[in-house]
Amino acid sequence: MNRLTESPDHFRHTGHPRKGFFTDTSICIGCKACEVACKEWNRNPHDSEYELLESSYDNTGSLGADTWRHVAFIEQDREQIGRARESGRALVSLGMPSVGPPGQDQASNLAGADTTPPDTPDFRWLMSSDVCKHCTNAGCLDVCPTGALFRTEHGTVVVQDDVCNGCGTCVAGCPFGVIERRRDGTAGPKTERDFTPGEQAPTHNVGVAQKCTLCYDRIVDGQTPACAQTCPTTSIKYGEREDMVATARERVAELHAQGLTEARLYGANDSDGVGGTGSVFLLLDEPEVYGLPPDPRVPTADLPRMFKRAGIAAAGMLAAATAAFLAGGRA
């Protein structure tokens, strides 16, 4: 990554370890308790008036200004399961990088294990709780002009909602489509925690970019983020990012040993386009099936080159104007 781009390394001196999530979708039951807990704790307005999306049991749709946890729901048939398993097997045989300590080559361990796939079921349900990735190289943070988005001492990315002026650049800068400008909502104060239950509370932070804070207000007090605390199956795990990645690696090796070659990790690789994500996922199909980008890249990775091209273009404009006065002055 170029020198311009910010990353949590700058914050190592804070003495706090980098925090993150590991979302193990293989044990998610799609109960959406995380969505509810997130909305409750952060007092986020609801997204719509009970709109049904008519595509699956997911009626939330996507992450956004008012939805900081989103449970995806996908129904697949035998053919699709077979394809997922096949694409996972192709990944394994690529010899994808082992980012962990050298010497522990799980791929060779896998060779000895019984990799006969279990009976392929006729269909399966994929459920996955999506969240802000809290990227190592965060696109939203880099392009924010006001400094409203900042890196916390826990290595997470948070909006200061009293600074943000709602320019919307971060919305375009996020390769995962997470952050969004809040339009209006129908509920939700954070300023007044002692609101009257059952009464409509005024919407806060309208016109300001909003996204998951990894419950900054909870983790500074040593608490677990609301979604992870409420998750009944421990599909959402919270802790130090290094531990999360280690847990994820163990889990994917375990699933591979059971023949579930469709299992794969998302965001655990520090050499990927966003420098690895703070929220690591275990997926059971290609990322785009869950609405995740297959090869995200932080846009500022190419920024020095873009500045160079713009500089050449600006010089060209000056040259054209000079030439115009030299040529047109004579006429």
Partner 1 sequence: MTVSDFDDYRPAEPPRRRKRGGKRRRAGGGEGRGEVPVVPEAEFTSYYGRPVVKPPPWGDPIAVYLFLGGVAGGSALLGVGGQMTGKPILCRNSRLAALAAIGVGAVALVEDLGRPERFLNMLRTIKPTSPMSLGSWILTAFSAGAGVSAVSEIDRMTGSRLPLGPLRRLLRGLEGPAGVEAAVFAAPLSAYTAVLLSDTANPTWNAAREDLPFVFVSSASLAAAGLAMITTPVKETGPARALAVLGVAGELIATRFMEKNMDPVAAEPLHLDGPGRMLAWSERLAIAGGIGALVGGRHRLTAAISGAVLLGASALTRFGILRAGIRSAENPRYTIEPQKNRLAARRRAGIIHDSITTTE
Among 15, 95, 112, 198, binds partner 1 (CB under 8 A): 95
Contact 247, 238 (CB under 8 A): no
Read off the amino acid at residue 254: E
One of 49, 54, 114, 221 touching partner 1 (CB under 8 A): 54
Q: Classify residue 270 by its DSSP letter.
A: T
Task: Output the CA torsion sign for 71, 72, 75, 79.
Answer: negative
Does residue 274 interact with partner 1 by CB under 8 A?
yes
Stretch that binds partner 1, among 14-22, 25-33, 189-197, 317-325 (CB under 8 A): 317-325
Residue 40 or 184: the one with the smaller Cβ distance to partner 1 is 184
- The closest of 133, 214, 205 to 173, measured between CA atoms, is 133
Task: Output the smallest distance, CB 178 to partner 1, in A.
Answer: 8
Give min distance, CB of 266 to partner 1, in A.
6
Measuring CA to CA, which residue among 210, 238, 244 is closest to residue 226? 238
Burial of 176 (0-12, 13-18, 19+ CB in 10 A): buried
Binding mask 132-151 for partner 1 (x = CB under 8 A): -------x--xxxxxxx---
Between CA 296 and CA 246, with CA 255 as vertex, the angle to 5 degrees is 60
Contacts with partner 1 by CB under 8 A: the residue count is 115
CB of 218 to partner 1, least distance (A): 26
Residue 231, marked binder: yes
Cα gap 282→264, rounded to integer Å: 6
Does 310 sit near partner 1 (CB under 8 A)?
yes
Nearest approach in angstroms of CB 155 to partner 1 is 18
Separation of alpha carbons 101 and 107, rounded Å: 14
Site map (CB under 8 A) of partner 1, residues 168-207, x = contact? xx-xxxxxxxxxxxx-----------------------xx
Residue 194 CB, nearest approach to partner 1 (Å): 26
3-class SS shares of the chain: helix, strand, coil, % to 5: 35, 15, 50
The yes or no reply on residue 212 touching partner 1 (CB under 8 A) is no
Contacts of 27 (CB under 8 A, 6+ apart): 233, 234, 235
Residues in binding site for [4Fe-4S] cluster: 28, 31, 34, 38, 132, 135, 140, 144, 164, 167, 170, 174, 212, 215, 227, 231
Residues in binding site: 28, 31, 34, 38, 132, 135, 140, 144, 164, 167, 170, 174, 212, 215, 227, 231
